[in-house]
Amino acid sequence: MTSPTTRLMNTVAILEKLVSFDTTSRNPNVPLIEWVESWLDDHDVTYTRHRGPEDGKWNLHAILGPVEKGGLAFSGHVDCVPVEGQDWSRDPFVLTELDGKLYARGAADMKGFVAAMLAAIPTLQTLPLRKPVHLFFTFDEEITCNGARYLIEDVKSRDLMPDYCVIGEPSLLSPIIAHKGRFTVRSM
């Protein structure tokens, strides 16, 4: 089994790579998705890629253990908000460590969680998984949440819905059970 120190080192190395991709929501995410696919290929993980409505925007669904519905999902989006007009003191697409903290665009929201998902794969593969562990990587959370909508449609169409899902969104760094809610009013 991988040691906690090795996992942390792997997580930071993965995060360094993930933040180097400018996946600002207006940009395609395909270069990052292809890099994740390469990581999954290197670890013999089953996955499917699904196109969004715009060229170059993709979701990815990986499964460890039995390829079936049920089990637990971990979900993270790979897009981030723009950096224009912000006073960055360093390159926002280069991971920087300062006083024990890691800085870069998307490092917390939410490429850090995505890096942890990927770094956990070798450990998960050592476990006798009776139920699947799903890994979801989505696009466009920052602007429309459409990536998650497309992902859900795809997963349902393939009858692979998990029983539970952990979403690594850093809501003030406090766990939230269920959704905080949303209310929309449309003027006619």
Residue 54 has what pLDDT? 87
Check 16, 79, 109, 140 and give the catalytic one: 79
- Walking along the chain (188 residues) 10 residues at a time, the average pLDDT comes out as 62 96 94 96 95 92 97 95 90 94 92 96 95 97 89 96 90 69 66
Residue 144 has what pLDDT? 86
Q: What is the pTM of this model?
A: 0.88
Q: Are strands 72-77 and 101-103 parallel, antiparallel or unpaired?
A: unpaired
Check 16, 22, 141, 142 and give the catalytic one: 141
Is 141 marked active-site? yes
Asked if residue 177 belongs to a domain, the reply is no
Domain count, the chain: 1
Is 97 marked active-site? no
> Which residue range(s) make up the domain with 10?
4-167
Asked if residue 127 belongs to a domain, the reply is yes
Asked if residue 52 belongs to a domain, the reply is yes
Tokens representing residue 117 in the block: 């998902």
Asked if residue 154 belongs to a domain, the reply is yes
- Residues near 168 by beta carbon (within 8 Å), at least 6 away in sequence: 74, 75, 76, 110, 112, 113, 114, 116, 117
Per the CB < 8 A criterion, the answer to whether 59 and 150 are in contact is yes
Residue 75 has what pLDDT? 95
Asked if residue 50 belongs to a domain, the reply is yes
Tokens representing residue 176 in the block: 């939230």
Asked if residue 112 belongs to a domain, the reply is yes
Strand arrangement of the beta sheet that strand 164-167 belongs to? 46-51, 58-64, 133-138, 72-77, 164-167
Residue 1 has what pLDDT? 58
CA distance 120 to 7: 7
Longest dimension (CA), the chain: 58
Asked if residue 56 belongs to a domain, the reply is yes
How many helices and strands (H and E) does the chain possess? 4, 7
Domain with residue 139: its CATH number is 3.40.630.10
Exposed e or buried b per residue across 91-125, where buried means at least 16 C-beta atoms within 10 angstroms of its C-beta: ebbebeeeeeebbbbbbbbbbbbbbbbbbbbeebe
Residue 179 has what pLDDT? 65
